[in-house]
A and B are shown apart, each in its own frame.
Chain A
Amino acid sequence: TQLLEQSPQFLSIQEGENLTVYCNSSSVFSSLQWYRQEPGEGPVLLVTVVTGGEVKKLKRLTFQFGDARKDSSLHITAAQPGDTGLYLCAVSNTDKLIFGTGTRLQVFP
């Protein structure tokens, strides 16, 4: 079983639409990260959330950490083609990152 389940697995939308990606677990975490990986590149850290209920905004991206620190969401407002990529949530376990199952987003012009 996967520690971090993301949904949806795939998302294909038109430019200008809003979307939400979810990252769920039955475990409690001290922090959680979101990475974006563009085609042909390595993942890049977008944000780290550490406090239950925390909301962080990064331009059109809004990240929320669940009150119980078991889940997180990423909301994108007015998606653009440049948002296309693989979105990965992750948690740290000693030296290692445990990645979620991933959400592949395609935004069409």
Chain B
Amino acid sequence: DAMVIQNPRYQVTQFGKPVTLSCSQTLNHNVMYWYQQKSSQAPKLLFHYYDKDFNNEADTPDNFQSRRPNTSFCFLDIRSPGLGDAAMYLCATSGFRGSVEQFFGPGTRLTVL
């Protein structure tokens, strides 16, 4: 089945130790998103790609970076994780610009010790 895959599902890192989360999709969608979600809150958009065109949200900290080497893969790099960065990180895709539907992966839960 076509889907959005996130690895790992659970990630533990230490305060200040860089960490990379990965997302892949078999939907061949043009648009990919990274969200941060804290407990019982709505997902908060960090950035998104339309093809290779990177769009950063104004309030996304510089500590968060992203790479999209090809259509299928997208990475979220947290350069120096702080305790406040512990959260669920969700990857999503949509088929085209302006599409009202997004397809979400299962998320990676990040713990910062």
Contacts and interface: CB of A to CB of B under 8 A. Distances in A.
Given A86-B40, A102-B40, A92 B98 contact: yes
Contact of B104 (A44, A86, A102): A44
A51 interface: no
B55 A95 contact: yes
Given A100-B42, A102-B41, A104-B40, A95 B104 contact: no
Residue with the highest number of chain A CB atoms closer than 10 Å, among B48, B100, B101: B100
A92 B99 CA distance: 8
A33 B107 CA distance: 20
A48 to B, nearest CB: 6
Interface string B22-51: 000000000101000000111101001010
Interface residues of B, number: 26
Contacts of A41: 106-107
Nearest to B48: A95
A40 B106 contact: yes
B92 interface: yes
A45 interface: yes
Interface residues of A, number: 22
Nearest to A86: B40
Given A95-B98, A102-B42, A42 B92 contact: yes
B43 A96 contact: no
Contacts, number: 53
B86 interface: no
Contacts of A48: 100-101
A43 B43 CA distance: 9
B81 interface: no
A92 B42 CA distance: 15
Interface string A8-25: 001000000000000000
Interface in B44-64: 45, 48, 50, 55
Interface of B: 4, 31, 33, 40-43, 45, 48, 50, 55, 90, 92, 94, 97-107, 109
